[in-house]
Each structure stands twice: as structure tokens, then as C-alpha cells.
Amino acid sequence: MSPTIQTESLAKSFGRTEVLRSIDLAVPEGAIYALVGANGAGKTTMIKLLMNIFPPTAGRAQVLGIDSRKLAGRDFDRIGYVSENQDLPDAMTVGGLLDYMRPFYPTWDRALEQQLVRQFDLPLGRKLKHLSRGMRMKAAFASSLAYRPPLIVLDEPFTGLDPLVRDELIEGLLERAPETTIFLSSHDLAEIESFASHVGYLEDGRMLFSDEMAVLNDRFRDVSITLAAPTPLPPDLPPAWLLPETVDCVLRFVHSEYKGVATDRELAAIFASARDISAEPMPLRSIFLAIAKSSRSHKRAPHIPAADRRSEA
């Protein structure tokens, strides 16, 4: 089965500024793929390249099997795109927007539209310009979900929304998840951790890694080793040990290639005199922080197995 989204060496520059550098990515069908990264990492540019809003400077992307540069017109029958900074037709009412959009889509589901209107509690008679930010996003969601697109692309959809609205939107999205592939960007790890099946981390225009969430959770461990006596940080630590530090008798690092019992045994062998060795699972946020800090301190990508960086997770 071919991926819903696939990129090869995708790059984008604005003048001399490189915004995206050689991105290889594959999003499998049915995935909820979260593209995360700090503000300015290149997430929005990546999405705009995929939606053919910008042409790439180099490389190529395929979306639903179509070269992104040829994506136009009827191709958008199958794509639902919502962005936090999209200019909506503000003079229209919510009902007017739905009425206007309906004839564009052969697959528009009137029952689903009404369900979304109820679910999001949308005021049909109010103009979009008079709606709160949350309500505008809900209206945009409703107009993008009602035709059951096989691909939903969301650019920072939850930014600035209150938790209640955010949960409503996530709920609405997850109801569509079984029939669609969702690709969304976010700079807030906590909001995507609960529902993303795949995650990619973008920093400074580079994809530091792209992986399945479960694999990621399995592979990263917060390792804490209590030694018999205070010991300085040994040189030449394995590259998979991120952010190593010692405090008195305790050596701590993030293990990025944790393989369960095998790794436990390996650590026990290395630190034979250790009084205690623990390897705790990490929340997504901590994993990303570790990767980001490690990357910045080394000015290079942290040690991530090559097979995982170019992942079809």
C-alpha cells in the first residue's frame, strides 16, 4: 500500500533562507501523523508545499498519489485542509459557508454536516467575522470534514483554543479517523500525544526523526544509574545516550535505543558496581526536549537509527 503522503528530499528556500532541507517522509494510510516542532521550524511551509500553496525549491512530494505541484481543482475533493491562519470568507454566515461549499463536493454528506453542526454547536446564522476564534475553527472543521475526505491536513489547528473547544475538535476529528489519514502540525506536544499514531520532529528545517508513537515510547528511556562513589562523566559515551550528566553518585541520560531486557543487561554489565539502575518510560514532551537539547548542544542531529529517520513507521 503506497503512503498517503510521501516526500523525497523536499526542500524550500525563500531567497537565501533555507526553510526546509531535504525532507524525506512517508505517512501511511490511516495514520494520524503529528508534525511537531518549535515555532519557525518549517511545519507550515511543509504543509503548504504538500498542498501546492508553494512550489518546492527541490525534491518532490506526492499526496494521495499526485505530484504536489500538480495538485489543483478536483484533487481537493479528497483533501480537507484547515489552518489556524487561513483567511475565511468572513462576510459569510456559517450556514452560508456550508451552503456555498456543498455543491463543490460530490461526496458531501448532508447528515454528517448536520451532525457536525450539532456537535460543534455552530450558530448557522452568524457571520464568520463575528465568531470567536474557536467557533471559526469549528466552522472550518465542519466545512472540511462533511465531505469525508480521505486525507485531512491541519496546520496548527488547536493553537490558541481553550481546552474545551480543543477537546471538541479532537473528538470530531477522531470520529473521522477510521476512514481517513490525518496529517497535522503542532508546536504543543501535549495536545497531540493523546491521539497521534505517528510523529515527526522538525527543527530548523530538518526532520530530526519520524516514527510511530508506540515505537518512540518503547525506544526512549530516562536512565538513572546510582554509582558507588561520585564519578566524573566518562568520555566517549555511546552516541545513543543523550544529555548525559552526573550529580554526585548519580549518572543520568536519555537512552534513544532502548531495547528492553537486552539494554538492561548491557547497562548492568557496563556499570557492574552500580547500586541501582532504573530505565523509566518518558512522556513525549520529555523525549522531544531531550532530542532538541541534544541536537542544539551538538549542532547536529542526535543519534537516531538511520532506518527510523526515514521512516515509514
For the CB of residue 255, give the shortest distance to other proteins in the complex, in Å.
41
For the CB of residue 185, give the shortest distance to other proteins in the complex, in Å.
15
For the CB of residue 119, give the shortest distance to other proteins in the complex, in Å.
21
Taking the CA atoms of residue 53, residue 288, residue 181 and residue 119 in that order, the dihedral angle to the nearest 10 degrees is: -100
Cβ nearer to other proteins, comparing 43 with 48: 48
Q: Which three cell numbers stand for residue 188?
A: 504543543
Q: What amino acid is encoded at 253 in this protein?
A: F
Sheet holding 32-36, edge to edge: 79-83, 151-155, 181-186, 32-36, 198-203, 206-212
CA angle 287/294/191 to nearest 5° reads 30
Q: CB-side exposure of 104: number of CA atoms within 13 Å?
A: 18
In the numeric block, the cell 512550489 is attached to 55
Residue 87 gets the label, from left (phi > 0), alpha (psi -120 to 50) or beta, of beta
Which of 144, 149, 150, 64 is closest to 101 using CA atoms?
A: 144
Cβ nearer to other proteins, comparing 116 with 140: 140
For the CB of residue 200, give the shortest distance to other proteins in the complex, in Å.
21
For the CB of residue 123, give the shortest distance to other proteins in the complex, in Å.
19
Q: What residue ranges bind other proteins (CB under 8 A)?
A: 48, 51, 53-54, 72-77, 79, 81, 83, 85-89, 91-92, 96, 100-101, 103-105, 140, 153
For the CB of residue 173, give the shortest distance to other proteins in the complex, in Å.
17
* Phi and psi angles of residue 307, each rounded to the nearest 5 degrees, phi first: -60, -30
